[in-house]
Structure 1
Amino acid sequence: MKIYSADTWTIEELKDQIDDAGRRALVIPAADSQRALLETFSEILDVQEDSGVDLDILHDSLHDVADAVADQDQAPVTFIWQVPAGFRADRSFGVFCETLQDAESYAAGSLDVVAVFL
């Protein structure tokens, strides 16, 4: 996971760099709680609503994205995760980072995460 300050790169600049690298950019808007972030990821990843929203489902969904990229010869994906200062102080921030880093490791380059600290 790469971490940038919003003062260094704008979301548009990051998206342009990702596009130039031949990757797809998916922006995860700022969320101020674990629940809100899980719901946001669920919407972006098109998780079935009846599945509920939790970290295990996020983990599995990220692995599904990586598998789809590899199996269907799709362009690799880079998530741009906008992280507000208040959420970085939440203890679930570390758990999300671990989950996202695990997905990156599993994906072997087909899935990357860029965290932008707001």
Structure 2
Amino acid sequence: MKIYSADTWTIEELQALVADAGRRALLIPAADTKRSVLETFAETLDFPADYGVNLDALNDSLHDFADAVGDDGQTPITFIWEVPAAFRADRSFGVICEVLQDAERYAGGNLAVIAVCL
């Protein structure tokens, strides 16, 4: 997982870098609470209706998502996650980063994450 400042890189510049690397970029919009971040990932990644909106469910669903990318032979994907300052101060920010890093390791080269600090 890479972390960038929005003062250094714009979302458009990061999307262009991802495309230049032959990957698909998927923007995860900003959310400022743990629950809203979990819901935003679920909505953006089209998690199943029975998604539990908790960290375990995020972990499981990200692994399923990574499997689908790999199994379907899809172009590797990079999430560009917008992270507002208010959420970075929340303890759950670090835990969600750990979940995302685990998903990256699990997925091999099929999934990468960029967090953009707004």
TM-score, normalised to structure 2, is 0.95
Paired with 1:54 and 1:115, the residues of 2 have a C-alpha distance of 20
Aligned position for 2:75: 75
Gaps of 5+ in 1: none
Classify the secondary structure of the residue corresponding to 1:16: helix
Q: Which amino acid aligns with 2:8?
A: T
Alignment partner of 1:113: what SS? strand
Shift of 1:18: 0.6
Match for 2:41: what amino acid? Answer: F
Alpha-carbon distance in 2 for matches of 1:35, 1:16: 30
- Contact 1:6–1:117, Cα closer than 8 Å, also in 2: yes
* Contact 1:45–1:61 under 8 Å retained in 2: no
Deviation at 1:96, TM superposition (A): 0.3
Aligned counterparts of 1:77 and 1:58: Cα–Cα separation in 2 = 17
Structure 2 counterpart of 1:97, one-letter code: C
The correspondence of residues 95-114 of structure 1 with structure 2, limited to 5 A, is 95-114=95-114
Aligned to 2:46: 46
- Residue identity (%): 70
- Number of residue pairs the alignment of both structures matches: 118
Shift of 1:50: 3.3
4+ residue segments displaced more than 4 Å: none
Query: Gapped runs of 5+ residues in structure 2?
Result: none
Rounded Cα–Cα distance in structure 2 between residues aligned with 1:88 and 1:99: 15
When the two structures are superposed, what TM-score results if normalisation uses the length of structure 1? 0.95
> Does the CA contact (< 8 Å) of 2:42 and 2:51 recur in 1?
no
- Is contact 1:80-1:116 (8 Å) kept? yes
Q: How many angstroms apart in 1 are the aligned matches of 2:52 and 2:69?
A: 24
